[in-house]
Structure 1
Amino acid sequence: MRKLWPVILVLLIAVGLAVVLFPNGHKSLRAEKGPKPAQQSQSRAVAVEVAPAVTAVYQEDLRSVGSLMSDESVQIASEISGRIESFRFSEGQTVSAGDELVKLDDALARAELVDAQARFELARANLERARTLSKSGHVTERAQDEAKAAFETARAAVELANVRLAKHVIKAPFDGIVGLRNASVGAYVSIGTPIVNLEKIDVLKIDFKLPEAALTQIFPGQSVTVEVDAIPGRTFEAEIYAINPMVDVNGRALHVRARMANPDLILRPGLFARVTVKGRETRNVVMVPESAIVPRAGESVVYTIQGGKAVETKVTLGRRSAGMVQILSGLEPNTTVVVAGQLKLSNGSEVEIVQTQSPSALEKS
């Protein structure tokens, strides 16, 4: 018993100190456990940003990619076999239709022409002689016919020799710019061997494809905006002039061709182009910021504000453009929707609006 007295004395001293140092400790605990209605009500309100559903004129642009092409393009080639004697152009030179480009060795062709002309003169003399003798009855009608046939054959041979000789000079079929040649002077070329390309690029064509659903939205004469990655920050105007009557059965796509002016020759065939076709306009379209849309179980919802509370509203979405999304059904114009903070909301949550985006700000965005 005497051994327990020191322990009991220490415990009594500790309890006394606790009472002296923390006289209101029990009350404080009870006070902390007590409810604070004002603070709880304030903590339940979710801070949100809102914006009105606006009506707008929606233009359904059609976008695609394509390639620029020369208005006219050809590989200059020879129609006959022969040795190149000379070039009448410089690579990259602008030429006009009819300008001589390539000269082939024509010595043999000129000799053949001289031979044909000599035979023609002989045939003509024989025909004149036969006609003279036929008047005196010294030449039969058959002999006269044979002389006439020989004359016509000789004349055709002269024309053929002239054509062959002319083909030793290759001329430009249209105005354009000559490319890089594929042969040198002295080279022997066969029929159809490409020698140099000729491109008409003061006007360019653009080939691109659109989905078959766009069939009723495009037509010849429709304007097209073209952007080229090689020339950033600049747009060009083109015009649709042809639509292939056959739809591509593999991709279900329409093959469209447009034409654009290129007076300064800054654009070149083969460049990659981004094409925008101005589509039809739809008026009084209800649109909201994309940030207002909340995916929910395979559907799309927005939160509207009614009486200081969030109301979950199902909507049907249309097309998207410039940060806005079209609402096909479920929302009336000018309805206030939550655009920030909605992930913390549920149907019926109390909200505190901290910022409202104006319609003008939405249009700028």
Structure 2
Amino acid sequence: MLRNIVAILVVLLIAAGAGGAYWWFVMRPQMAAQGGGGGPPAGFAMPVEAAEVKIAPAATTTDAVGSLRSTESVLLKPEVSGRIVNINFDEGQRVRKGTVLIELDRSIEEAELEQARAELELAQSEYERQQTLRERNNVSQAALDQAKARLATATAEIALAEARLAKRTLLAPFDARAGLRRVSPGAFVETGTPLVNLEDIDPLKLDFRVPERFLPTVQIGQAIEVQVDAFPNQEFQGEVAAIDPQIDEAGRSLVVRAVVQNEDDRLRPGLFARVTLTLASREDAIWIDEAAIVPMGDQATVFKLVEDGEGKTTAKSQPVRLGLRQPGLVEVVEGLEAGDRVVTAGVLKIGDGSPVQVVPSPGEGQASPPAGEAGAEQEPAAAAG
């Protein structure tokens, strides 16, 4: 018996709740619109707060990490063994392409070159003499050909001696900054002994990886912002210079190479870098207060103010497509235009077509989007709810 009474009470409570909900959500708005049932009378303007949409830049970005690298880098090593007689640079010094950096003892090679020159002179004279005799038909053609061959051999010996001599001098292969030398004058070095590293650090290369899903949007020339721990409060600018044509299968990522200007040489190769890559930017993006968004199922809407020309203002429900988000703000990609005003407070008290009266907000101000700054990367925001 008691169980039946409890069941009846539960059914009655559910019915009462359903009836109350039907009245609150269905009948009450209709009665309010008709001026009855205790709601506001017909023509009553509901007080709301509103604000004009803000126009400011917006940027779709993604973050990554990478390492700075020299544009050109080489560890200078001799191709021949020998004793160092001169070191013509200071550590850390800027050197120009073609500058003589290190000289090895070249006495033997110079002597070989002089010997080759003497043999060339002799071969040249012999050839000219044989040529004259041949013109007089006093020697055979074979003798002239032999003299010509000796002349060619002597010429080749000159080139060989000059090449050997050149290897005793190490030149800068490009404009660079010299590193720390690893040898001293008078040291005997073998072939391939590391002598000094050369680094071209203006500009610098920056390699980083982004997920493969960004392949359609990453392009050469896109801007990046770089931060390093050595200069925590500064940002350095660069741009994408190259994109690896092959996707890294291990990490399913796209390898991107950017170029970062370094005119003052503050940045150095090997620094760990945090990268913000700007994938797309919009100079005249539309921003609204996030409190203006009203979820309607899967669709985000706002109440746009419409003037009827007689001094009356109504709130029109306007579907919108959202984009980036900033603290307190949302970008509207579609649905609003510059100059539109939307309800920012009181959206729960009005419906589509409700008369409204705009009242000042307590602070009479709205946070502005960070003009010129890139927003955090995200897909276009879905409707709330």
Shorter-chain TM band: 0.5 to 0.7
- Alignment pair present for 1:274 and 2:285: no
Equivalent residue of 2:123, what SS? helix
The question of whether the paired residues in 2 share the 8 Å contact of 1:64 and 1:210 is answered with yes
Deviation at 1:153, TM superposition (A): 0.6
The question of whether the paired residues in 1 share the 8 Å contact of 2:328 and 2:367 is answered with no
Structure with more of its chain in helix, by fraction: 1
Equivalent residue of 1:98, what SS? coil
Deviation at 1:83, TM superposition (A): 1.7
Deviation at 1:271, TM superposition (A): 1.0
Deviation at 1:321, TM superposition (A): 5.2
User: TM-score, normalized by length of structure 2?
Assistant: 0.62
- Alignment pair present for 1:221 and 2:227: no
1:35-46 matches, cutoff 5 A: none
Cα gap change, 1:323/1:134 in structure 2, threshold over 3 Å: closer, same or farther?
Answer: same
1:104 aligns with: 104
- Whichever of the two has the greater Rg, that structure is 1
Deviation at 1:162, TM superposition (A): 1.1
Equivalent residue of 1:360, what SS? coil
Deviation at 1:221, TM superposition (A): 1.3
Counterpart residue type for residue 93 of structure 1: Q
Measure the CA separation in 2 of the matches of 1:176 and 1:200.
4
Measure the CA separation in 2 of the matches of 1:334 and 1:323.
15
Cα gap change, 1:130/1:196 in structure 2, threshold over 3 Å: closer, same or farther?
Answer: same
Deviations 1:224-280 (CA, angstroms, capped at 9, x unpaired): 111111101111110111111111111111111111221111111111111111133
Deviation at 1:164, TM superposition (A): 1.2
The question of whether the paired residues in 1 share the 8 Å contact of 2:100 and 2:171 is answered with yes
1:164 aligns with: 164
1:83 aligns with: 83
The question of whether the paired residues in 1 share the 8 Å contact of 2:289 and 2:344 is answered with no
1:208 aligns with: 208
- Alignment pair present for 1:136 and 2:143: no
Counterpart residue type for residue 143 of structure 2: A
Structure 2 portions without partners, runs of 5+: 1-48, 299-321, 334-341, 347-360, 371-385
Measure the CA separation in 2 of the matches of 1:64 and 1:123.
68
Equivalent residue of 1:265, what SS? coil
Deviations 1:31-52 (CA, angstroms, capped at 9, x unpaired): xxxxxxxxxxxxxxxxxxxx99
1:172-251 matches, cutoff 5 A: 172-251=172-251
Cα gap change, 1:322/1:115 in structure 2, threshold over 3 Å: closer, same or farther?
Answer: farther
Cα gap change, 1:201/1:336 in structure 2, threshold over 3 Å: closer, same or farther?
Answer: same
Measure the CA separation in 2 of the matches of 1:264 and 1:117.
49
1:27 aligns with: none
Cα gap change, 1:361/1:319 in structure 2, threshold over 3 Å: closer, same or farther?
Answer: closer
2:68 aligns with: 68
Measure the CA separation in 1 of the matches of 2:363 and 2:65.
35
Deviation at 1:176, TM superposition (A): 1.7
Equivalent residue of 2:89, what SS? coil
2:366 aligns with: 360
The question of whether the paired residues in 1 share the 8 Å contact of 2:134 and 2:141 is answered with yes
Deviations 1:118-177 (CA, angstroms, capped at 9, x unpaired): 211221122112112212323111111111011001011011101211221111112221
1:264 aligns with: 264
Cα gap change, 1:281/1:121 in structure 2, threshold over 3 Å: closer, same or farther?
Answer: closer
Cα gap change, 1:362/1:151 in structure 2, threshold over 3 Å: closer, same or farther?
Answer: closer
Deviation at 1:192, TM superposition (A): 2.9
Equivalent residue of 2:268, what SS? coil
The question of whether the paired residues in 2 share the 8 Å contact of 1:287 and 1:327 is answered with no
Equivalent residue of 1:279, what SS? strand
Measure the CA separation in 2 of the matches of 1:288 and 1:359.
14
Cα gap change, 1:117/1:323 in structure 2, threshold over 3 Å: closer, same or farther?
Answer: farther
The question of whether the paired residues in 2 share the 8 Å contact of 1:83 and 1:105 is answered with yes
Deviation at 1:196, TM superposition (A): 0.4
Counterpart residue type for residue 360 of structure 1: Q
Counterpart residue type for residue 366 of structure 2: S
The question of whether the paired residues in 1 share the 8 Å contact of 2:288 and 2:331 is answered with yes
Aligned-residue sequence identity (percent) comes to 43
Equivalent residue of 1:152, what SS? helix
Q: CA RMSD in A?
A: 3.9
Structure 1 portions without partners, runs of 5+: 1-50, 293-299, 301-316, 338-354
The question of whether the paired residues in 1 share the 8 Å contact of 2:81 and 2:189 is answered with yes
Measure the CA separation in 2 of the matches of 1:188 and 1:131.
49
Number of matched pairs: 282
Cα gap change, 1:106/1:126 in structure 2, threshold over 3 Å: closer, same or farther?
Answer: same
The question of whether the paired residues in 1 share the 8 Å contact of 2:220 and 2:239 is answered with yes
Deviation at 1:88, TM superposition (A): 0.6
1:146-165 matches, cutoff 5 A: 146-165=146-165
Measure the CA separation in 2 of the matches of 1:116 and 1:101.
27
Equivalent residue of 2:366, what SS? helix
Deviation at 1:189, TM superposition (A): 2.4
Measure the CA separation in 1 of the matches of 2:248 and 2:364.
46
- Alignment pair present for 1:252 and 2:258: no
Equivalent residue of 2:174, what SS? coil
Cα gap change, 1:67/1:119 in structure 2, threshold over 3 Å: closer, same or farther?
Answer: same
Deviation at 1:360, TM superposition (A): 2.1
Cα gap change, 1:243/1:55 in structure 2, threshold over 3 Å: closer, same or farther?
Answer: farther
Deviation at 1:284, TM superposition (A): 6.0
The question of whether the paired residues in 2 share the 8 Å contact of 1:116 and 1:157 is answered with yes
The question of whether the paired residues in 2 share the 8 Å contact of 1:61 and 1:276 is answered with yes
Measure the CA separation in 1 of the matches of 2:362 and 2:151.
100
Cα gap change, 1:325/1:193 in structure 2, threshold over 3 Å: closer, same or farther?
Answer: farther
